[in-house]
Every structure is written in structure tokens, then in C-alpha cells.
């Protein structure tokens, strides 16, 4: 039996390639099965915990995780399930909302740059600077002449971060339209989740095709060698968790984080 492809290779958007989300199977599992995937995810999370500990102790490099996807794609669930592998002391999470008046008084990357990780940290962006070529585009908040220039600006910004020791891992969580409908219905039907649902979600759902076009272009124009995108089929949560955890673990392991050398200490020290 052929071995399933490495998820880091199978799901990466190669620089220069053209993404068409409608042609991609949001329910794909690449030969993985739920029973074994759950156990594999736990192993990857153990690996992530160990890698973060070394990254934090070393304090020379940092990691930025970007999560994007349409409403109900599973960004919150990914943070809750996969990122629990990390010690929160070294893992700040930022959810970017509507810009404040102060933020609007600066360039659009100002508020983002402030939240990038310090050395030793693994930072998570729940939505990100990519909203400036997604929701801004779909809702025509600025002219095309403005948002269309931001792809190159974002690439330059991310290149600068990587040159200064930050590894960027970008995940686009992909679901299909029917899956979104089902998840919205489940939110509405569950009293414990209804707070997450609003009628505004249905207005945004009407713009599905516009968002898909915006996603396609953003993924195509901003997946670079320095900061590649990974399109994660996210209909099955168990596969989403496996893909994200394994790609993250492989990426951070490639940084070779190491504990710093111990200071010179007396031999046979007895602490009283």
C-alpha cells in the first residue's frame, strides 16, 4: 500500500501557483482515517509542547501562526484543540476585530506589527492583516486601486519579519458552502453556541462567491518561499487538527530550537 503524502508537502500552496478553492475538496483526508488520526494528533501535540519549551528557553527565534477562513471554518476550534499544546505564557493570541479610531489613524499594518511575537514566542493571529485584502475588498471599504497594492506590501512585510527571525506559518481553513450552512444551523440550535450566531452571518453568507474570489487571489499572490500558505481541508475537524499540528511541528522542528548551555556551576552542588 502506498504511503500517504506528507501533509506539509500536499497542502502547501507553491509560490506562483494559482489557487481555485472551488476545485479543491474541503472534505479531503489524504488517506488518513479518524481512528488513527486522533492518536497521531496527540503525538504531534506532545512534540509541539517539547519544541515550544526549547524555543522559549533559547529565545533567539519566534513563530507567527496565521489562521484565516470564512465564517465557521474552525479558527476558534483550531486554537482550542491544537494550540493547547503550548504553554500560554509564551503563546499570545490576537483576534483582530474592526479597527479602532487610533488604529485607523495609522497605516493598516501598524496594529499588526505590534502583535507579532517576541523572540521565543509562538504568536497566533485569529484573522490578521489579510482582512485588508478580504473583507475590505468584498465590502468595498476602500477602492480597488488601494487594496490591490496591498499584496506586495504584505509580502514585503512578511519578508522583513522572516529576515529578523520570525517564521511565519499561514493556514487557510477550507470548508464548502453546505458545511458552513450546517455549522450555522448547529450554532443556532445549540443554546450554548447561539451567542456566536448573528443575522449578520447570513448577510455575509450571501457574499460567498465574492469571498471565494478574494481568498483565491490572496492565497495565490501571497504564498511565498518566506511565508507559504497551507490550505487545510477543514470539513473534518479531526483531519484539520492533524494537518495543522503536524505541519506546525515539522516547521518548528526545522528551526532546530535548542536549550541554551548551562552556566558554569560548582560540581556536586548541594542546595540547602
Model confidence over 192-203: pLDDT tens digits? 999 999 999 999
Cell numbers representing residue 220 in the block: 495565490
Each residue of 46-74: pLDDT tens digit?
Answer: 999 999 999 999 999 999 999 999 999 99
Q: Residue 152: which of 245, 87, 221 has the closest Cα?
A: 221
| Alpha-carbon span 131 to 272, nearest angstrom | 56
Mean pLDDT score across all residues of the chain: 96
DSSP codes of every residue in the chain: -PPPPPHHHHSB--TT----GGGS-TT--TT--HHHHHHHHHHHHHHHHHHHHHHHHH-S-EEEEEEE-STTSSHHHHHHHTGGGS-GGG--EEE--SPPHHHHTS-TTHHHHTTSPPTT-EEEEES-GGGGGTHHHHTTSS-HHHHTTHHHHHHHHHHHHHHTTEEEEEEEEE--HHHHHHHHHHHHH-TTTGGG--HHHHHHHTTHHHHHHHHHHHHHHH--SSS-EEEEE-SSHHHHHHHHHHHHHHHHHHT---PPPPPP--TT----
Q: Indicate whether 2 pLDDT > 80.
A: no
pLDDT the model gives residue 269: 83
Which of 20-24, 28-32, 146-150, 259-263 has the lowest average pLDDT?
259-263
Each residue of 83-138: pLDDT tens digit?
Answer: 999 999 999 999 999 999 999 999 999 999 999 999 999 999 999 999 999 999 99
Proportion of the chain above pLDDT 90, given as a percent? 93
Proportion of the chain above pLDDT 70, given as a percent? 99
Calculate mean pLDDT across residues 198-209: 96
Calculate mean pLDDT across residues 229-235: 98
pLDDT the model gives residue 213: 98
| Alpha-carbon span 72 to 270, nearest angstrom | 56
For residue 99, give every residue at least 6 positions away whose Cβ sits within 8 Å of its Cβ, in sequence order, or none: 108, 111
Q: Which domains does the chain have, with CATH numbers?
A: 7-254 (3.40.50.300)
Answer yes or no: pTM beyond 0.85: yes
CA angle centred on 16, ends 107 and 112, rounded to 5°: 20
Amino acid at each position: 500500500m502506498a504511503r500517504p503524502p506528507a501533509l506539509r508537502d500536499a497542502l502547501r500552496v507553491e509560490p506562483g501557483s494559482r489557487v481555485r478553492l472551488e476545485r479543491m475538496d474541503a472534505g479531503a483526508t489524504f488517506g488518513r482515517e479518524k481512528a488513527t488520526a486522533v492518536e497521531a494528533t496527540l503525538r504531534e501535540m506532545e512534540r509541539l509542547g517539547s519544541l515550544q519549551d526549547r524555543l522559549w528557553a533559547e529565545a533567539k527565534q519566534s513563530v507567527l501562526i496565521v489562521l484565516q477562513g470564512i465564517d465557521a471554518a474552525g479558527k476558534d476550534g483550531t486554537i482550542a484543540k491544537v494550540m493547547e499544546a503550548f504553554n500560554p505564557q509564551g503563546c499570545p493570541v490576537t483576534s483582530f476585530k474592526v479597527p479602532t479610531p487610533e488604529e485607523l489613524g495609522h497605516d493598516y499594518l501598524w496594529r499588526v506589527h505590534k502583535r507579532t511575537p517576541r523572540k521565543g514566542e509562538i504568536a497566533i493571529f485569529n484573522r490578521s492583516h489579510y482582512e485588508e485584502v478580504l473583507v475590505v475588498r468584498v465590502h468595498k471599504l476602500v477602492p480597488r486601486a488601494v487594496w490591490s497594492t496591498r499584496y506586495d506590501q504584505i509580502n514585503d512585510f512578511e519578508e522583513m519579519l522572516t529576515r529578523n527571525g520570525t517564521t511565519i506559518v499561514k493556514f487557510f481553513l477550507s470548508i464548502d458552502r453546505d458545511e458552513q450552512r450546517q455549522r450555522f444551523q448547529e450554532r443556532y440550535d445549540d443554546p450554548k453556541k447561539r451567542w456566536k450566531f448573528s443575522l449578520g452571518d447570513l448577510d455575509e453568507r450571501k457574499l460567498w462567491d465574492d469571498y471565494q474570489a478574494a481568498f483565491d487571489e490572496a492565497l495565490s499572490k501571497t504564498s511565498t518561499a518566506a511565508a507559504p500558505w497551507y490550505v487545510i481541508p477543514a470539513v473534518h475537524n479531526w483531519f484539520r487538527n492533524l494537518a495543522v499540528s503536524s505541519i506546525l511541528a515539522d516547521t518548528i522542528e526545522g528551526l532546530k530550537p535548542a536549550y541554551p548551555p548551562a552556566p558554569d556551576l560548582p560540581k556536586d552542588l548541594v542546595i540547602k
